[in-house]
Amino acid sequence: MKRKICVVTGSRAEYGLLRLTMRNIKEDPELILQIIATGMHLSPTFGLTYKEIEADGFEINHKVECLSASDTAVAIAEATGKALAGCAEALDDLKPDLVLVLGDRFEIFAAASAALLAKIPIAHIHGGEVTVGAYDEAFRHSITKMSSIHFVATEEYCKRVIQLGEIPDSVHLVGGLGVDAIKELKFLEKVEVEEILGFKFGDKSLLVTFHPATLENIEPSEQMSELLKTLSNMQDTTLIFTMPNTDTGGFRIIEQIEEFISKNSNAFAFNSLGQHLYLSCLAIVDGVVGNSSSGILEAPALKVGTINIGDRQMGRIQASSIINSKPQQVHLTKAIKKLFSKDFQMSLESVKSPYGDGGANTRIINILRSGSLDLSVKKKFYDL
């Protein structure tokens, strides 16, 4: 009997990593793909990115609305509750054999909770990672404890999942999905990207993505102000902004970006570029600036430098192409100077991604289709 795998996705970034896995599940004769789309995918503010899923040839079985027009702590908590209720109903209808989730966002935490309560086993991708500056950290480890199967990106993350009490045989070192996406993709030429986006790259260019660091005492908007003050002195550089996630304080950052681009002709902003266009841009620019995981997970594989701001990604294993900076103008200015320096740009040629050389998707599919795969939600705690 074919095994039904239900993939739950709530954001553009996570879908970009899952897309190849979803395609491989769909094409596998022993597996049936089911899809639940929720979170930012269904929000006009964030580009209605569920359309990208459908444009890629996938059928979305259920859409679970959960977001409101607010990003306060109360609104995020309410969205988590709505996602939990909606995913519970969707899973009851679909009755999958396994739920597959990636990462650490609140809507994925809600989906995993719904699956556990329904006694549906969960496979979790990219567990064991650390990001001390955001509440995603707690969600990620909570999802690990709810999951029966773990697909991790590095040996260190593998050890950490086991440290959380998971049976070693349930933890599979597969590598990073972002590396697979890059290796599989046929990148757009620079002129094609310019035509699609409606501008021409200058001699220098930066891709900027800044999300709220949700556990910081400093307001995200204050950190963003420091970044924008720094970037305002770079009129000779094309600045490409992608909008932040729907975390607490994200809407104010969107307002700041919109105000900035209205005053700076070298700056452009997009709700969602989609994976193909985003990675094509990433391959063109001189560097990534912000605190997005893509600067840690994907940029090194393209030998592109990253300025990682603040603590949001602190704890993740980093390549030598990462420049860490405090979120103040004086530190950001130094970091940008280093990024554009000849010595640093030359050093990027020898950068090696710590997230493997590809093949993660193939390893995941081989395990998902294995007849010996343990699909029980009842687990023992593994003591070290």
Res 214 pLDDT > 80: no
Closest CA to 52 of 297, 361, 276: 276
Distance CA 152, CA 302 (A): 21
Res 215 pLDDT > 80: no
| pLDDT value at residue 109 | 98
Q: Where in the chain is the domain with CATH 3.40.50.2000?
A: 3-175+359-368, 188-350
| pLDDT value at residue 135 | 85
| pLDDT value at residue 71 | 84
| pLDDT value at residue 227 | 97
Each residue's pLDDT tens digit, 102-160: 999 999 999 999 999 999 999 999 999 998 878 889 999 999 999 999 999 999 999 99
Query: CATH classification of 188-350 is 3.40.50.2000, yes or no?
Result: yes
Fold of 3-175+359-368: Rossmann fold (3.40.50)
Would the CA dihedral through 272, 273, 274, 279 be positive or negative? negative
Contacts of 206 (CB under 8 A, 6+ apart): 231, 234, 237, 238, 239, 240, 285, 286, 287, 288, 289
Each residue's pLDDT tens digit, 17-64: 999 999 999 999 999 999 999 999 999 888 899 999 999 999 999 999
| pLDDT value at residue 274 | 84
Residue 185 pLDDT level (bands cut at 50, 70, 90): confident
Mean pLDDT throughout 224-247? Answer: 93
| pLDDT value at residue 359 | 93
Distance CA 295, CA 288 (A): 6
Residue 98 backbone dihedrals phi, psi, to 5 degrees = -155, 140
Each residue's pLDDT tens digit, 314-364: 889 999 999 999 999 999 999 999 999 999 999 999 999 999 889 999 999
Res 217 pLDDT > 80: no
Model's pTM, two decimal places? 0.89
